[in-house]
Amino acid sequence: NVSHELRTPVSSIKLLSETLEEGALEDPGVSKKFLGQMIQEVDKLEGIVEGMTTLAKIESGEVRLKKKPVDIVRLVEQVTKRLQGMAAEKEQALTVVIPAEEVLVMADALQLEQVIFNITHNAIKFTPPGGTVTIRVTFDEQQVVVSTSDTGFGIDPADLARIFERFFKSDKSHSSQGSGLGLAISRHIIEAHSGRIWAEPAPGGKGSRISFSLPV
């Protein structure tokens, strides 16, 4: 729940600040390390607050979709450019498999780009250094499907139906990174576009794949 998610970084900041006050501040190396950790916890708090605000606006209907014809291939290319640096830092291969032609959908471009960013960012974050993340776009006369697959730890089969719940984090990730809200926000955005979003094991049995479909 939200109180638990907020309490964890707050407790960490409190402990770090108390340790600094008790004398660690006198050690330049230790104080720099602790201040860096405090900044990370503040960033985490900021992410939770921003995510909760966004989710509340979507759920209340305050966010109005501005639908127009959008080339989903172009959105994927834009997201890939934004995340190439993050993947490069982990020596990961970030690849795209996309049609040569436009694939138009009636959508809110900013909201849809956020979904593609969220699922790809997650894939990079939970894939070990040297792994591969692939974004793929396929389509037919009825729908377009965008999927992001990775070579990470994968998602426990029992958790596949739950990862789109707010604050849910699969035990397999062994990570407390992020706000735990990105996939919940993505689900609401896709459903508002009359689409569907789901998770499954990646082809080959290693890692996971998150996909969404939209009518064309």
| Triad 117, 1, 63: Cα angle to 5° | 45
Give, for 211, the enclosing helix (H) or strand (E): strand 208-215
Per-residue confidence in pLDDT tens, the chain, 216 aa? 666 667 777 888 888 888 888 887 788 888 888 888 888 888 878 777 777 777 778 777 777 889 999 999 999 999 999 999 999 999 999 999 999 999 999 999 999 999 999 999 999 999 999 999 999 999 999 999 999 999 998 888 888 888 898 777 665 543 445 556 889 889 999 999 999 999 999 987 789 999 999 998
What are the beta bridge partners of residue 147?
A: 136, 211
Domains of the chain: 2-60 (1.10.287.130), 68-215 (3.30.565.10)
Query: Do residues 165 and 155 make contact, with C-beta atoms less than 8 angstroms apart?
Result: no
- Spatial separation of the C-alpha atoms in residues 107 and 114, rounded to whole Å: 12
